[in-house]
A = this chain, B = another copy of it.
Amino acid sequence: MRISGALLALVLGACASAAGAQAPPARPEPPSMQDILDHSLASDWRPLDPANTLYMDLPAGRVIIELAADFSPAHVANVRALAAAHYWDGAAITRSQDNYVVQWGRVEGDPHDRGAAQAHLADAEYERAIGDLPFTRLPDPDNYAPQTGFTAGFPVARGGGKTWMTHCYGIVGVGRDNPPDNGDGSELYVVIGQAPRHLDRNLALVGRVVQGMELLSTLKRGTGALGFYETPAERTSIRIRLASDVPAAERVNLEALRTESTTFRTLMESRRNRRESFFVEPTGHINVCNVPIPVRAVR
């Protein structure tokens, strides 16, 4: 009988030398992702800014989102203002569509009038000039854009002198109506499946889930059109706060690996070229949405 332990290393293949292989590997194993991170410098990491971090608290735990002010400053400013005003107290997760998105916002019949959102309608912010933003470029071709890579901790694409965030797993965006300038940030969604890159440059992206993603991705799928829940009882209540509005002792202190660091480049290359003994075909390519952007807790 095949035992689970023997397969631990193998589907992932990231640490194939560590568990269960019956024969010694024929070649030395390359460093694992954890090996690479264990050799990082303190300066490779940056603390998340509490003024730029959201805590979305669900009954099951806390989801942490880093905001991306470089890419959609007006939307991010609105999200920050709404969080500071406790706009989402009494809000709920209203939609969970398999292999697509989970979405949240205030719900119909909310008795409280905190109508701050409409006052902050933001212009469409779907791409921006490259300017002096740093860019760690992936050399591989991409289905959707001339170039892809990483800027300040976020997956991005570039083309025509512009840059924009890409709709990867865990990326958070702003729902909107048909006119492209009317998403105010009051309803947000997160990608929970295969990257829907056709949405790139069609919606404002405001951040990335850096902790607690599994609390969102495992939510029961809605059975209504587009995965909306059909009954209020199916919704999950939420509360959103800026980390900077939470007492310091109650914060979760996180650091993200700088995507401009040599350590990140080393990690990226190790994920592009899978040389562990498990791999018959080492690939030699990667998709921007398959590169991990590590985050760690600090004490």
Q: Residues on A close to B: CB < 8 A?
A: 1-4, 6-13, 16, 20-23, 25, 94-95, 97-101, 103, 105-108, 110, 115, 117-118, 124, 126, 140-144, 168-170, 173, 175-180, 184, 186-187, 189, 193-203, 213-214, 217-221, 225-226, 228, 271, 274, 277-281, 283, 285-287, 289-290
Tell whether, in the assembled complex, residue B194 and residue A11 are in contact, meaning their CB atoms are under 8 Å apart.
Answer: no
Bound form: Cα–Cα A126–B152 in Å? 38
**Which of B25, B184, B228, B287 contacts A178, CB < 8 Å?**
B25
Give 7 closest A-B pairs by Cβ, nearest first.
A21-B178, A201-B281, A214-B221, A7-B175, A143-B287, A98-B214, A198-B283
Task: Check if B2 sits within 8 Å of A184, measured CB to CB.
Answer: yes
Q: Taking A1-B110, A175-B7, A228-B4 as contacts, is the C-beta distance between A283 and B187 under 8 angstroms?
A: no
- Total copies of this chain within the assembly: 2
Are B126 and A280 closer than 8 Å at their CB atoms? yes
* A2 partner, pick from B9, B12, B117, B219, beta carbons under 8 A: B117
> Which residues from chain B contact A9 at a C-beta distance below 8 Å?
178, 226
- Tell me whether A277 and B178 are in contact (CB under 8 A): yes
SS of A interface (majority): loop
- Supplied contacts A99-B217, A218-B219, 10 more A-B pairs, CB within 8 Å: A2-B177, A10-B177, A11-B199, A20-B177, A22-B179, A25-B178, A99-B213, A140-B143, A143-B285, A200-B283
Known: A10-B175, A178-B25, A178-B277. A290 touches B194 (CB 8 A): yes
* A144 interface neighbour in B10, B97, B287, Cβ under 8 Å: B287
Contact (Cβ within 8 A) B278 A178: yes
Cross-chain contact B4 with A105 (CB below 8 angstroms): yes
Residues in B neighbouring A279, C-beta threshold 8 A? 198, 202
A194 touches B289 (CB 8 A): yes
The answer on a CB contact under 8 Å between B177 and A6 is yes
- Bound form: Cα–Cα A200–B274 in Å: 12
Residues on the B chain within 8 Å of A118, using CB: 1
Report the bound CA distance from A28 to B94 in whole Å: 30
> Can you spell out 18 A-B residue pairs with CB atoms less than 8 angstroms apart?
A1-B115, A4-B228, A7-B177, A8-B226, A11-B199, A21-B178, A22-B177, A99-B213, A143-B285, A144-B285, A178-B277, A193-B193, A194-B195, A195-B290, A196-B290, A198-B274, A202-B281, A217-B218
C-alpha gap A187/B228 in the complex (Å): 34
**Residues of the B chain whose Cβ atoms lie less than 8 Å from the Cβ of A197:** 283, 287, 290
